[in-house]
Chain A
């Protein structure tokens, strides 16, 4: 892609990372690791790929997004705020009793959230229902869902994989954030769900493996998905958990805790340094 576009997307992704840290820091809890790992994917979906309008978040013909790994709500909220669905300042209310920003996505209260998720394995099923609905009505809208690699240990993910292929839901794209870590440790040690590519292929999906932090690869994969007929597409996105924050990268303990003030400052400083390089 053009250098200017790449630069612009990279800036957005970095700002989304800053938003994630601000939200989780102010909440004093939450899930930064798996939020940071999907910043480029969320950026590309909401700023390039999806047909959406923040001023009309309930447009029946909009593309749909389902965050199946709902615990990374900070990434979704950070992206929605950046895209203009609600003020960036509201991110600081995340998880607070008076806030509409629930710990896991709530479609009833958050503008731009298309499905309530949080219980792993369920979002991809809802995404299948949405994709089927679009097809039944002859609508052009597409459905995107982001799954966790640990989440793929849930049997329901594979029930949904079977369903999507059976009903030829080629308007559905499932992006699996392969960051390699889950709460109890590396996915291959806790309960090895790999190889994801071979599994999805065996279920009848079009499968593409990419670097989750490379916009060119994200773009190419999503174009490939659009051009694929008769099969849903799975994008296996190899990522770094905690990406962008030095001490969080590939560190299991940052799956589900917030940094205290000293480490918060380090995180913001890390991300501001990256921002400097994108000027």
Chain B
């Protein structure tokens, strides 16, 4: 089993390492230790600016820095960067299309004990609706690192989502020729009976689900959609044509998240059954992460169950 590491750790390591190669600034709102921007702060104290607990102003400051040509990361918990500062991001960063990389860590249910007020299940939906915004949700620490380098070479505003909870760092062993490209999904496993489209924390559970299904003689294709926007509809539709059924798996509200995006993609091009695993129309709650994942149905077993059902819908068409 691969080493477990949180995507926020990949983010922090990337900032600290890439800070030598790229010219950028980092802003945080009194959460540097938690978001892992602290790793950059320690190494490049002159390029790090704490904005205090004032996220709206932080986004405006980031916009002003970007308007004068700086590359900027502005980080907080997803709830407070994408959530609290939504309107500042939309109007001061999105509308003028400035080079600000907005970072939301501690996204969704895997926040754990802090509970509902800190478990943002809506950030991807919010960010996706801002015209010109690139939205990325990496699956593991290696992908998180690669995503940071990709946005440093990208022109325009980006939102990057990272998690608090460790996740198996699968990329190095499963994909030796791994290359991160914004907007290009990755086929982790080829299959013919059903497609599992996942992102973020759910990618490794999608692979576990594929193992469960394999033991039952079902061949599942597993796709990691690390870039939520622009959405790789081409890849998802091509897979739908091959398997005829889709299950999505996301640690996010199923309203406006990956499930919605997959539905939109196939509905317009090649309609097939799409069943969604994700946070239903509910707030989170306090608890230990493994228990919460069970409670909210964010499990390999649930993905496998939905896959079986999706396949049955296909035959009853």
Q: What residues make up the interface of A, taking CB atoms closer than 8 Å to B?
A: 60, 64, 66, 106-108, 114-116, 118-119, 121-134, 136, 155-156, 159-160, 162-163, 166-167
A76 CB to closest chain B CB (Å) equals: 15
Answer yes or no: B288 CB below 8 A from chain A CBs. Answer: no
Beyond A125-B58, A129-B63, A156-B60, 8 additional pairs, beta carbon < 8 A:
A108-B97, A124-B60, A125-B64, A126-B63, A129-B62, A132-B65, A134-B68, A156-B88
Q: Is B69 an interface residue (CB 8 A)?
A: yes
Cβ contact within 8 Å between B64 and A133: yes
> Beta-carbon contacts of B22-64 to A below 8 Å, as 1s and 0s?
0001000000000000000000000001011010111111111
Query: Are B91 and A129 interface neighbours, CB within 8 A?
Result: no
Contacts of B60 in A (CB 8 A): 122-126, 128-129, 156, 160
Residues of chain A with a CB closer than 8 A to B65's CB: 129-130, 132-133
Contacts of A121 in B (CB 8 A): 56
B290 contacts the other chain (CB 8 A):
no
Whether A126 contacts B69 by the Cβ 8 Å rule is: no
Asked if B63 and A125 sit within 8 Å, CB to CB, the answer is: yes
Q: Tell me, in angstroms, the Cα distance from A121 to B92 when the chains sit together.
A: 11
State whether A129 touches B64 (Cβ < 8 A): yes
Chain A facing B: main interface SS = helix
Q: Are A122 and B88 in contact (CB under 8 A)?
A: yes
Contact assessment for A116 and B96 in the assembled complex, using a CB-CB cutoff below 8 Å: yes
Contacts of B97 in A (CB 8 A): 108
Determine the residue in chain A with the shortest Cβ distance to B90.
Answer: A119
Known: A108-B96, A116-B91, A116-B92. A129 touches B56 (CB 8 A): no
Contact of B66 with A by CB under 8 A:
yes
Q: Would you give the 0/1 interface string for B192-232, flagging 1 where the beta carbon is closer than 8 Å to chain A?
A: 00000000000000000000000000000000000000000
CB of B67 within 8 Å of the partner chain: yes
- Asked whether B61 lies within 8 Å of A129 as measured between CB atoms, the reply is yes
Contact B67 A125 (CB under 8 A): no
Q: Closest CB-CB distance, A67 to chain B, in whole Å? A: 13
Rounded to whole Å, the gap between the CB of A232 and the closest CB of chain B is: 13
B95 touches A129 (CB 8 A): no
Bound Cα distance from A174 to B27, whole angstroms: 23
- Cα distance A115–B96 when bound, in Å? 8
User: Does A125 contact B61, Cβ atoms closer than 8 Å?
Assistant: yes
| Chain B, residue nearest A119 (CB) | B91
Interface hits, B57-98 → A, CB 8 Å: 57-70, 87-88, 91-92, 95-97
Cα(A163)–Cα(B49), bound, Å:
10
Q: Is the CB of B61 within 8 A of A115?
A: no
Sample (20) of A-B pairs whose CB atoms are under 8 Å apart: A60-B68, A66-B64, A106-B95, A107-B67, A108-B96, A119-B88, A121-B56, A125-B60, A125-B63, A129-B60, A129-B61, A132-B61, A133-B68, A134-B68, A156-B88, A159-B52, A162-B52, A163-B54, A163-B57, A163-B61
Which residue of chain A has its CB nearest to the CB of B64?
A129
Taking each of A106, A125, A136, A155, which has the highest tally of chain B beta carbons within 10 Å of its own beta carbon? A125
Q: How far, in angstroms, from A134 to B70 measured CA to CA in the complex?
A: 11
Q: Which of A60, A124, A166 contacts B69 (CB 8 A)?
A: A60
Give the nearest-CB partner of A66 in chain B.
B64
Q: How far is the CA of A129 from the CA of B88 in the complex (A)?
A: 14
Check B95–A156 contact: CB distance below 8 A: no
Contact present for A122 and B92 (CB under 8 Å): yes
A106 to B60, CA, bound (A): 15
Write out the residue numbers on chain A whose beta carbons fall within 8 Å of the beta carbon of B95.
106, 116
Q: Which residues of B contact A123 (CB under 8 A)?
A: 60
Output the nearest chain A residue to B85 by Cβ-Cβ distance. Answer: A156
A204: min CB distance to chain B, Å: 14
| A133-B50 Cα distance, complex, nearest whole Å | 15
Contact of B56 among A108, A130, A156, A167 (CB under 8 A): A156
B54 touches A126 (CB 8 A): no
A106 to B66, CA, bound (A): 15
In the bound complex, what is the Cα–Cα distance between A122 and B65 (angstroms)?
Answer: 14
Find chain B residues with CB under 8 A from A162 CB.
52, 54, 57
Determine which residue in B49, B54, B57, B97 has the highest number of CB atoms from chain A within 10 A of its CB, and name it.
B57
How far, in whole Å, are A115 and B52 apart by their CA atoms in the complex?
A: 23
User: Chain A residues near B54 (CB, 8 Å)?
Assistant: 156, 159, 162-163
User: In the bound complex, how far is the Cα of B59 from the Cα of A121, in angstroms?
Assistant: 12
B303 → A minimal CB distance (Å): 41
Q: What is the 8 Å Cβ interface bit string for chain B, positions 260-297, against chain A (1 contact, 0 not)?
A: 00000000000000000000000000000000000000
Whether the pair B64, A132 counts as a contact (CB closer than 8 A) is yes
Q: Which residues of B contact A125 (CB under 8 A)?
A: 56-61, 63-64, 88, 92
Selected from A66, A114, A126, A136, the residue in CB contact (under 8 A) with B61 is: A126
Q: Whole-angstrom distance from the CB of A154 to the nearest CB of chain B?
A: 9
Q: Chain A residues near B56: list those with CB within 8 A.
A: 121-122, 125, 155-156, 159
- Docked Cα-Cα span, A272 to B5, in Å, equals 72
Bound CA span A60–B68, Å: 7
Let me know if B57 and A128 touch, CB within 8 A: yes
Residues of B within 8 A of A66 (CB): 64
Contacts of A60 in B (CB 8 A): 68-69
CA of A128 to CA of B63, assembled, Å: 10
A155 to chain B: closest residue by CB:
B56
CB atoms of B91 and A122 under 8 A apart:
yes
Minimum CB distance partner of A133 in chain B: B68
Cβ of A7 to closest chain B Cβ, rounded Å: 36
Closest 4 pairs between A and B when the two form their complex, measured CB to CB: A129-B64, A125-B60, A159-B57, A126-B64
Residues from chain A with a CB closer than 8 A to the CB of B92 are: 115-116, 119, 122, 125-126
